[in-house]
């Protein structure tokens, strides 16, 4: 009897199948790992200098917060140490913070919301859907595409910061370096295994199969990569010289999952109604927990009239309640009241407590006696120590001028916007018959 080969499921298989795989952590993956990083580096170093690709890495701020809390360092120090590791220990050329992409995602997200809101309220768009729902969490997107197709029109069309950074690196950065996108290899460090799924989507590769993000590793995998080289992270020097894009490591207001709701409600209150609000101090906004700290509603009223109502929805238990609410929108309302006002925007993340609690983050240090809750609170508090800077439309437009030139709108559609599609169930998973996520 011939021995069967070990079966593997690739990341693209996970997105394309019609079964019910719900977590990238449970998949036997054959790509996007520290082994892939090592193989790529070895291959590049074996090539003549003129044939090598440019190696570039982008770091999520949630990953830096996890590492900073674990080693009791500042967020800035972690970035500079990682910059040194990648550019001096490993042969990478540049290390970016994904907050560059996040600023673009927040600015464009606010523009998209205001456009949809005005079209809906001016009866100018019969097919305009509110609420707008964030689409930066790949776990949530995979769930919606496979099980709740009716929700897809509500999703924001703006790419996640990871994918905005990917398109920027494969286009503008490549052009600056004098090479084509296929000669740039982009590694992304994320708090979540599902970001590997996001990077492997067909939408995020060009017609030649060149992906915007070539490989994703998690926070814990990065530390493993460092330790496997016998390096003590605390003893790594800090880089002293950074390029203009590398110095953009300031943070944002709002949630540690990106601050989407905070930014969109703040700028939209001003743009749509001329109202100045402060969500941090609840000035002009009523804030209430709908069920728990992961399901919170924000309501902007003026003279007793609701202007905007938005919500933060984290964790699949709350997401299921959100989906049921949206799928029941067509039911007739017997009695009008303030509670009948629909949400205009919802910030959705699959993980309870959001991205700082991603499955790829570092665990509680064994030598310190934190509970899981206390550890998460420390990572969250560490994230909050970054310098906060309001996303700036002028700065984004200046970047666009170099990035897209005269083809701004076409460039945005190609590099910043995306779309989502339903995945039909055609083959049952015999191990999970009768289950539906």
Tell me the torsion sign for CA atoms 389, 98, 17, 221: negative
Question: Same domain, yes or no, for 166 and 71?
Answer: yes
Give the span between the Cα atoms of 236 and 78, in whole angstroms. 10
Mean pLDDT of 155-184: 96
For residues 262 and 272, what is the distance between their CA atoms, to the nearest angstrom?
15
pLDDT band (50, 70, 90) for residue 426: low
Task: Give the chain's domain count.
Answer: 2
Indicate whether 59 and 175 sit together in one domain: yes
**At residue 419, does pLDDT exceed 60?**
yes
DSSP-assigned letters across all residues of 342-382: PPSEEEEESSTT-GGG-TTSPPPPTTS---HHHHHHHHHHH
Whether residue 209 is found in the same domain as residue 236? yes
Residue 356: other Cβ atoms inside 10 A: 25
Same domain, 38 and 136: no
pLDDT at 262: 95
Residue 281 is given by DSSP the state T
Do 121 and 73 have their domain in common? no
Distance CA 245, CA 241 (A): 12
Give the mean model confidence (pLDDT) for residues 104-113. Answer: 97
277 shares a domain with 145: yes
Residue 222 lies in a domain: yes
Mean pLDDT of the chain: 86
Say if CB 413 and CB 123 are below 8 A apart: no
User: Within this chain, do residues 264 and 200 fall inside the same structural domain, yes or no?
Assistant: no
- Prior bond of 370 cis (ω within 30°): no
Contacts for 202 with CB less than 8 Å, ≥ 6 apart: 12
Inside any domain, residue 433: no
Q: Concatenate the DSSP letters of all residues of 50-97 into one string.
A: GGPPEEEEEE-HHHHHHHHHHHT--HHHHHHHHHHIIIIIS---EEEE
Q: For 105-183, list the strands marked E by DSSP.
A: 132-133
Strand order in the sheet with 94-97: 94-97, 54-59, 184-190, 215-218
| Model pLDDT, residue 245 | 73
Per-residue pLDDT, averaged over 315-326, amounts to 90
pLDDT at 125: 63
How far apart CA 316 and CA 20 sit, in angstroms, is 15
Cα of 248 vs its chain's centroid, Å: 17
**For residue 20, is it within any domain?**
no
Whole-angstrom Cα distance, residue 408 to residue 403?
Answer: 8
258 secondary structure, DSSP code = -
Which of the residue ranges 5-19, 148-162, 293-307 would you say has the lowest mean pLDDT?
A: 5-19
Closest CA to 88 of 76, 97, 80, 96: 80
Share of the chain above pLDDT 90, in %: 65
Quick: pLDDT tens for 187-226.
Answer: 999 999 999 989 999 899 988 889 999 999 999 999 999 9
Q: What is the C-alpha to C-alpha distance for residues 86 and 97, in angstroms, rounded to an integer?
A: 13
Both tokens of 358, joined, read: 């991603």
Give the model confidence (pLDDT) of 250-279 as tens digits: 788 889 999 999 999 999 999 999 999 888
> Is residue 140, in this structure, part of any structural domain at all?
yes
Q: What percentage of the chain carries pLDDT values higher than 70?
A: 86
Whether residue 316 sits in one domain with residue 274: yes
Domain of residue 302, CATH code: 3.40.950.10
Residue 241 confidence (pLDDT): 81
334's tokens: 């017997």
pTM: 0.88
Q: Is residue 292 part of a domain?
A: yes
Same domain, 74 and 97: yes
Chain segment 384-393, per-residue pLDDT in tens: 998 888 899 9
Q: What is the domain range of residue 324?
A: 106-158+254-328+340-352
C-alpha gyration radius of the chain: 22
What are 237's two structure tokens? 């020097």
How far does Cα 334 stand from its chain's mean position? 39
User: Tokens standing for 379?
Assistant: 């990572």
Q: Indicate whether 307 and 406 sit together in one domain.
A: no
In a domain, 38, yes or no: yes
Does position 4 have pLDDT exceeding 80, yes or no? no
Q: What is the pLDDT of residues 345-364, one digit of tens each?
A: 999 999 999 999 999 999 98
Average pLDDT over residues 397-422: 92
pLDDT tens readout for residues 135-157? 999 999 999 998 899 999 999 99
Compute CA 173 distance to the chain's CA centroid, rounded to the nearest angstrom.
Answer: 20
Q: Which of 93-102, 120-129, 281-290 has the highest mean pLDDT?
A: 93-102
Give yes or no: residues 173 and 94 share one domain: yes
Quick check: 334 pLDDT over 70?
no
Q: Are 129 and 151 in a shared domain?
A: yes
Q: Would 419 be classed as within a structural domain? A: no
**In this structure, is residue 73 part of a structural domain?**
yes
What number of CA atoms fall less than 13 Å from residue 287's CA on the CB side? 18
Q: Check which CATH number belongs to the domain holding 212 and give it.
A: 3.40.50.1780
């Amino acid at each position: 009897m011939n021995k069967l080969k070990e079966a593997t499921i690739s990341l693209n298989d996970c997105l394309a199948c019609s079964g019910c795989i719900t977590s990238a952590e449970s998949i036997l993956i054959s790509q996007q790992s520290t082994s892939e990083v090592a193989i790529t580096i070895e291959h590049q170093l074996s090539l003549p200098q003129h044939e090598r690709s440019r190696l570039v890495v982008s770091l999520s701020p949630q990953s830096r917060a996890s590492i900073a809390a674990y080693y009791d360092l500042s967020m800035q120090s972690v970035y500079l140490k990682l910059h040194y590791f990648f550019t001096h220990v490993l042969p990478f050329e540049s290390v970016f913070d994904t907050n560059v992409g996040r600023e673009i995602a927040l600015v464009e997200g606010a523009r998209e919301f205001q456009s949809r809101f005005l079209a809906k309220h001016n009866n100018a768009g019969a097919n305009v859907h509110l609420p707008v729902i964030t689409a930066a969490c790949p776990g949530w997107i995979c769930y919606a595409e496979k099980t709740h197709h009716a929700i897809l029109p509500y999703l924001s069309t703006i790419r996640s910061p990871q994918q905005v950074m990917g398109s920027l690196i494969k286009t503008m950065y490549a052009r600056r370096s004098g090479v084509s996108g296929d000669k740039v290899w982009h590694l992304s460090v994320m708090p979540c295994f599902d970001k590997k799924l996001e990077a492997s989507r067909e939408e995020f590769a060009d017609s030649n199969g060149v992906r915007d993000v070539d490989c994703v590793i998690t926070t814990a995998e990065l530390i493993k990569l460092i330790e496997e080289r016998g390096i003590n992270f605390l003893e790594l020097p800090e880089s002293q010289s950074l390029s203009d894009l590398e110095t953009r490591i300031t943070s944002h207001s709002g949630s540690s999952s990106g601050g989407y709701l905070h930014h969109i409600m703040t700028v939209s209150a001003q743009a749509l109604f001329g109202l100045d609000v402060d969500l941090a101090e609840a000035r002009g906004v009523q804030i209430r927990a709908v069920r728990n700290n992961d399901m919170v509603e924000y309501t902007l009223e003026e003279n007793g009239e609701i202007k905007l109502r938005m919500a933060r929805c984290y964790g699949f238990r709350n997401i299921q309640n959100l989906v049921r609410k949206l799928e029941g929108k067509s039911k007739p309302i017997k009695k009008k009241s303030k509670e009948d006002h629909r949400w205009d925007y919802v910030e959705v993340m699959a993980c309870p407590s959001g991205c700082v609690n991603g499955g790829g983050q570092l665990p509680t240090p064994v030598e310190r006696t934190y509970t899981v809750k206390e550890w998460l609170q420390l990572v969250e508090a560490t994230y909050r120590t970054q310098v906060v800077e309001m996303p700036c439309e002028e700065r984004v437009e200046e970047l666009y001028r170099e990035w897209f030139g005269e083809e701004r709108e076409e460039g945005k559609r190609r590099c910043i916007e995306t779309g989502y599609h339903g995945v039909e169930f055609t083959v049952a998973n015999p191990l999970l018959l009768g289950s539906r996520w």
